[in-house]
Amino acid sequence: MENPSSSNIEEVQQECYDEWMSLQAKRMTDLKRALANGEKNDGALRELIQSVIEDFKDYARKRSEHSRRYSSNYFAPTWNTCLENALLWMGGCRPSSFIRLVYAMCGSQPSSVLPTSSVTTTSAIGESDRD
């Protein structure tokens, strides 16, 4: 297992992401051009779409490879404080924390997105136990 410095790992990950984003930009330009030209050839459009899907699969494969080679960086990200990494190590990785992170990045709260019928309050649970 390789043991490169954390900054090297971040550079490798950033290069992987930048490469994928540049491919996405190129594919988007090609798709917009085909749309603007009123492309009637379904085969050509399918090839463009397939290339976008293949680019994503390649990106996911590379990320998976990076996660195997540099696994510690995925379990203790460098942007976390030492305390946060220690808590992750002691408490384990909680998938719910990733869900909360996504909601926070979107600027909303999970309770405001969930329908009220699917959320059971603790008082309702306590009342049903007493009956």
Q: Which residue has the tokens 């992170």?
A: 101
**Burial, 1: exposed, middle or buried (Cβ in 10 Å; 0-12, 13-18, 19+)?**
exposed
**pLDDT tens digits for 32-65?**
888 888 777 778 888 888 999 999 999 999 988 8
**pLDDT tens digits for 77-126?**
777 788 887 877 777 666 677 777 777 878 766 555 555 554 454 444 44
Amino acid identity of residue 105, one-letter, is M
What pLDDT does residue 58 have? 92
Could you tell me the residue ranges of all domains in the chain?
Answer: 6-93
**Burial, 64: exposed, middle or buried (Cβ in 10 Å; 0-12, 13-18, 19+)?**
exposed
Measured in degrees and rounded to the nearest 5, phi and psi for residue 87 equal -65, -40
pLDDT at 19 exceeding the cut of 90: yes
pTM above 0.75, yes or no: no
DSSP 122: H
What pLDDT does residue 1 have? 44
- Cα 120 from Cα 128, distance rounded (Å): 11
